[in-house]
């Protein structure tokens, strides 16, 4: 019987790094904040609600592709491989692969949301008691170390959700190169990538009728209040999300309704009426543009599948 899930002992982002990034982003012009800070425990729970929304098509489309292709993916995974998942969240898509790939050696979910990760890893271990589960609380945009147990196994990567789209394109290419180094020559990466489509469909997905995406966006200010003792009035900001076709990205912003000042970590931050904090980009690719980026980062495309409407794509890549 393998050892139970190992406890995570540290938050993946030290408060001081969070404070420094918040002050740097809010004193810059235009104001911006890194989207990785959406994901404290409350943010992870809100993201799970987003995945259930009727307007948020990416999750349903990707699940459909993975369910149809699970056997093909399982056949490509080397026996005894460790599956390393980047940005695992609730690991719900992983369960589709685990049901098809019976001979995996281990599962290492990597996520910045440390407490949520621990809960999800514990739940997964209860469902799959024979699977070695080794959660890693880390920022995957920085160097991090894989657990010893998976270092000695062949490694395959899983990066669903189109989280790659939250990187700037040059950061996405750097991430892919680094993932190749972590996973090793000849390794596989199964990666979900959201596709360019009708503007209305895109904009609805980020402006849902129930306001869950707005709450997810505003949670960033709530988190700054909770962890850094700021006093943002959440009612003083509006959620804005729109498709910037020139840059091929959904932009999310928080717009100040009126002119005001907030103190954050000893700094006075002034807002003009209508001024925004740019909180997230979600880049949308074509199958070809993503393939070209992956090739430029040292990955060879092996397979690519889309859903019936070509809303979403799942690429299988091999490194080196």
Strand partners, 242: 251
Residues 41-80, mask of contacts with ligand SAH (x by CB under 6 A)? ---x--x---x-------x---------------------
Cβ nearer to ligand SAH, comparing 60 with 260:
60
CB 113 within 8 A of CB 44: yes
Does 161 sit near ligand AVI (CB under 6 A)? yes
158 half-sphere exposure, CB direction, 13 A CA radius: 28
| Interaction between residue 43 and ligand AVI (CB under 6 A) | no
* Cα dist from 267 to 13, 22, 24, 172, 264, whole Å: 21, 11, 10, 32, 5
A 10 A CB-CB count for 46 gives: 20
Least gap, CB of 121 to ligand SAH (angstroms): 12
Q: Classify strands 312-319 and 188-194 as parallel, antiparallel or unpaired.
A: antiparallel
Q: Which of residues 129-158 bind ligand SAH (CB under 6 A)?
A: 139-141
Pick one of ligand SAH, ligand AVI, none as the site partner of residue 291 (Cβ within 5 to 8 A by kind): none
Q: Does 88 bind ligand SAH (CB under 6 A)?
A: yes
Minimum CB–partner distance for residue 59 and ligand SAH (Å): 6
Which of ligand SAH, ligand AVI, none is residue 50 near (CB under 5 to 8 Å by kind)? ligand AVI
Residues 69-108 that bind ligand AVI (CB under 6 A): none
Instruction: Out of 25, 89, 135, 165, name the contact with ligand SAH by CB under 6 A.
Output: 89
CB of residue 161 to ligand SAH, shortest distance in Å = 3
Estimate the crossing angle of helix 57-76 against helix 92-100, to 10 degrees.
30
206 binds, among ligand AVI, ligand SAH, none (CB under 5 to 8 A by kind): ligand AVI
> How many whole angstroms separate alpha carbon 225 and alpha carbon 319?
42
Candidates 113, 282, 313, 318: give the one binding ligand AVI (CB under 6 A): 282
Tell me which stretch binds ligand AVI (CB under 6 A): 136-144, 160-168, 176-184, 270-278. Answer: 160-168
What's the length of the chain? 320
Which tokens in the block code for residue 96? Answer: 């589709």
Binder of residue 139, out of ligand AVI, ligand SAH, none (CB less than 5 to 8 A by kind) = ligand SAH
160 contributes a contact to ligand SAH by CB under 6 A: yes
Of the candidates 174, 135, 179, the residue with the CA atom closest to the CA atom of residue 159:
179
Q: Of 25-33, 73-81, 162-170, 312-320, which segment contacts ligand AVI by CB under 6 A?
A: 162-170
Could you say which of ligand SAH, ligand AVI, none residue 13 binds, taking C-beta under 5 to 8 angstroms by partner kind? none
206 touches ligand AVI (CB under 6 A): yes
In the complex, the residues that contact ligand SAH under the rule CB under 6 A are: 36, 39, 44, 47, 51, 59, 87-89, 93, 111-113, 139-141, 160-161, 163
């Amino acid at each position: 019987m393998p050892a139970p899930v190992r406890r995570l002992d540290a938050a993946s982002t030290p408060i001081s790094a969070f404070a420094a990034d918040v002050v740097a982003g809010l004193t810059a012009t235009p104001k911006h904040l890194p989207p990785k800070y959406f994901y404290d425990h409350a943010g992870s729970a809100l993201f799970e609600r987003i995945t259930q929304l009727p307007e948020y098509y990416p999750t349903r489309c990707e699940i459909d592709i993975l369910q149809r292709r699970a056997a093909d993916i399982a056949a490509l995974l080397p026996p005894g491989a460790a599956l390393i998942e980047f940005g695992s969240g609730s690991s719900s898509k992983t369960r589709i692969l685990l049901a098809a790939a019976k001979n995996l050696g281990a599962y290492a979910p990597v996520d910045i949301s440390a407490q949520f990760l621990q809960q999800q890893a514990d739940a997964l271990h209860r469902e799959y008691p024979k699977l070695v589960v080794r959660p890693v609380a880390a920022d995957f945009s920085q160097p991090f170390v894989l657990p010893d147990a998976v270092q000695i196994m062949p490694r395959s990567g899983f990066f669903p959700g189109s989280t790659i789209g939250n990187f700037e394109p040059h950061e996405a290419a750097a991430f892919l190169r680094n993932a190749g180094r972590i996973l090793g020559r000849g390794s596989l990466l199964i990666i979900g990538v959201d596709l360019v489509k009708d503007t209305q469909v895109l904009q609805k997905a980020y402006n849902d009728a129930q306001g869950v995406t707005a709450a997810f966006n505003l949670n960033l200010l709530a988190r700054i209040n909770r962890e850094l003792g700021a006093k943002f009035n959440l009612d003083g900001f509006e959620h804005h999300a729109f498709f910037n076709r020139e840059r091929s990205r959904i932009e999310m912003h928080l717009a100040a309704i009126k002119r005001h000042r907030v103190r954050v970590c000893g700094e006075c931050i002034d807002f003009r009426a209508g001024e925004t904090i740019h909180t997230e980009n979600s880049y949308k690719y074509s199958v070809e543009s993503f393939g070209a980026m992956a090739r430029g980062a040292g990955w060879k495309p092996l397979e690519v599948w889309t859903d019936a409407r070509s809303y979403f794509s799942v690429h299988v890549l091999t490194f080196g």
